[in-house]
Amino acid sequence: MQKLSDCFILANGVSIPCIGFGTWQIPDGDTVTQSILKAIEAGYRHIDTAAAYNNEKGVGRAIRSCGLKREELFITSKLWNTQRGYDKTLAAFEQTMSDLQLDYLDLYLIHWPANAKQSQDWQKINQATWRAFEKLYKDKRIRAIGLSNFLPHHLEPLLNQAEILPLVNQIEFHLGYTQRVVVDFCQLHHILIEAWSPLGQGKVLAEPELIRIADKYQKTPAQICIRWCLQGGILPLPKSTTSSRIRENTMVFDFELSAQEVQTINQLPHCWDSGFYPDKIDF
């Protein structure tokens, strides 16, 4: 990746801008609208939201007022856990479209897999949800469909039954929490990995080795984290409400980490993760 407008190409041929602007935990209303307008001004063309972030209306306002054509933007949203199943998924999608005030989505993800702790029928529930995703895709309401927080044992039964294969899996991925088994499985199956919390919510940025590499390139630790994702073929979704950081997080195209540095960061020990494990969550 050489510049912010460069894209990863999904297995169905759709282009997805290589850094997305994450909006998790950004409150609805002016805060999210202004953050997105700043991001678009800084050059982002890819916005990631979700029904559960409760900010889709503010995201939609930013999309309408930014002055760009709809097709110049790549918009992702996600289906929340209470809306799984065929009929509920179709209804939840319409609600998302109404909140965003859009007539198509670029990417729609199942936010979390149903898991065995929640229901004996978790596999059937994921399959019914996916069938609704396939219908929306075939109806051309969505340009690409995918998953979030799916581990290989959630993915395998879904892949066995799917008519249209998932194109993306968005997972927690940052220094010290690289979920290598999930990444390898998805890359083998041509499923693009997107990184949520690529900066470890800011909690991994004081890692001494990261600071050493950042100093070498006269970059910030956050910029090294983002560059490291890109060089690993992973699409980062950094989030910020601070103008200077929104810009800073795009300035990662004028240097390249060596293979040795990528390896060093890959191998840094666990230091922090969110604790949201897909088989343990009860929401």
The structure tokens listed for 141 are 């309401």
Q: Which of 200, 256, 202 is nearest to 227 (CA)?
A: 256
Q: Where are the alpha helices (DSSP H) in 52-205?
A: 56-65, 86-100, 122-138, 152-161, 180-188
Min dist. Cβ of residue 32 to ligand A2P (A):
12
Helices (H) and strands (E) in the chain, counts: 10, 10
User: CB of 174: closest distance to ligand A2P in angstroms?
Assistant: 6
Q: Which is nearer to ligand A2P, 146 or 200 (CB)?
A: 200
The nearer residue to ligand A2P, 127 or 201, going by C-beta atoms, is: 201
Minimum gap (Å) between residue 138 Cβ and ligand A2P: 33
- Using CB under 6 A as the criterion, which residues of the chain lie in contact with ligand A2P when the complex forms? 22, 197-202, 205, 220, 222, 238-242, 245, 248-249
Decide if 53 is catalytic. Answer: yes
* Phi and psi, residue 137, nearest 5°: -65, -45
Least CB distance to ligand A2P at residue 177 (A): 11
Q: Which of 209, 139, 143, 153 is nearest to 10 (CA)?
A: 143
Q: How many CB atoms lie within 10 A of CB 131?
A: 18
Q: How far is the CB of 122 from ligand A2P (least distance, A)?
A: 27
Nearer to ligand A2P, 157 or 202 (CB): 202
The residue among 144, 126, 181, 133 whose CA lies nearest residue 20 is 144
Nearer of residues 84 and 239 to ligand A2P, judged by Cβ:
239
Report the C-alpha dihedral over residues 218, 222, 226, 227, rounded to 10 degrees.
10
When the beta carbons of 114 and 205 are compared against ligand A2P, the nearer one is 205
Phi, psi of 91 (to 5 degrees): -70, -40
Catalytic hit among 44, 53, 108, 177: 53
- Residue at token pair 């990261």: 210
Tell me which residues are annotated as active site.
53
